[in-house]
Amino acid sequence: MDYETLNQLIKEYKAIPDEAQLSLTEFLAYHALSISMKRHCGKFINVYGTAGMTKMAEGKDLTAVKYMIGTGGALTRLPNRINLINRYLSEKDEMLLKPISTVKVLIDNQYIMATLGVLSLKYPEAAMTLLKASLSLDK
């Protein structure tokens, strides 16, 4: 994509992308996912001491996570949302303690997880029923 085309897409960008804007939206969603994962995942760091360099884990080790839930506008609505997540998970990063590519990806299809937290305070069973439905776990 050349600079002029990109500028035009950005200038006319819509909240719900049309076909011409879809590739840019997916590109942005992928990089937002990558940045957010780097913020939330632990990582290996190099520590130098008298015995030389040692590798240590810092932060949360998410390598054993069984489920990853995609929520938010892009990850609940883009047609290639699961492919975007799987592409990120399959990329190697020896220093990042991110979920491995065998993690089961679930999508908050109804984009209701945030509201279910509040609903669960008074109606926990109803919230769980709605959550399972949104994640397609009620089948």
Q: Are strands 42-49 and 52-58 parallel, antiparallel or unpaired?
A: antiparallel
Strand partners, 105: 68
Does position 139 have pLDDT exceeding 70, yes or no? no
Nearest to 75 by CA among 117, 105, 39, 114: 105
Q: Is the separation of the CB atoms in 111 and 75 below 8 Å?
A: no
* Tokens 């085309």 -> residue: 5
* Domain coordinates in residue numbering, the chain: 3-103, 108-139
Q: Give me the chain's average pLDDT, please.
A: 92
The pLDDT assigned to 16 comes to: 84
pLDDT digits (tens, 9 = 90+) for 71-118: 988 999 999 999 999 999 999 999 999 999 899 999 999 999 989 999
14-28, 37-51, 106-120, 123-137 — which is least confidently predicted? 14-28
pLDDT digits (tens, 9 = 90+) for 56-75: 999 999 999 999 999 988 99
The pLDDT assigned to 18 comes to: 86
The pLDDT assigned to 73 comes to: 86
